[in-house]
């Protein structure tokens, strides 16, 4: 994706987030958190542990030494010019 499109989507996301925060009723959020009690903390800790374990698993089993071919411009152009190796004799 081109840099200007990335920047445009980022700005759009920030604007939407700002609108959502301005429309948020913090008293109602606090009341909901108090109603959830200690279960909110338990769910957040479980989520964090699973997130960390998934990250560790991904980085140890699939180390990323180079960018994937989809992000390497020279590889995608070379792929378009070359025929697949299965068809070579």
Query: What gap in Å lies between CA 74 and CA 79, rounded to an integer?
Result: 9
Write out pLDDT tens, residues 27-36. 999 999 999 9
| Structure tokens belonging to residue 19 | 């609108």
Q: Are residues 53 and 18 in the same domain?
A: no
Q: Are residues 53 and 88 in the same domain?
A: yes
Q: How many domains does the chain have?
A: 2
**pTM, to two decimals:** 0.48
Q: Are residues 49 and 89 in the same domain?
A: yes
Q: What is the DSSP letter of 23?
A: T
Write out pLDDT tens, residues 62-72. 766 666 656 55
Domain hosting residue 54, numbered range: 38-89
| Structure tokens belonging to residue 88 | 């070579």
Q: Are 69 and 75 in contact (CB under 8 A)?
A: yes
Q: Are residues 56 and 70 in the same domain?
A: yes
Mean pLDDT split into 10-residue runs, the chain, 89 residues:
89 96 93 94 96 87 64 55 57
Query: What gap in Å lies between CA 5 and CA 11, rounded to an integer?
Result: 10
């Amino acid at each position: 994706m081109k840099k200007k499109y990335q920047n445009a989507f980022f700005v759009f996301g920030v604007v939407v987030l700002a609108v959502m925060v301005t429309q948020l009723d913090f008293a109602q959020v606090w009341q909901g958190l108090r109603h959830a009690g200690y279960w909110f903390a338990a769910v957040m800790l479980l989520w964090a542990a699973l997130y960390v374990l998934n990250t560790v698993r991904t980085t140890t089993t699939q180390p990323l030494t180079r960018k994937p071919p989809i992000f390497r411009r020279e590889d995608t152009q070379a792929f378009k010019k070359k025929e697949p190796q299965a068809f070579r004799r």
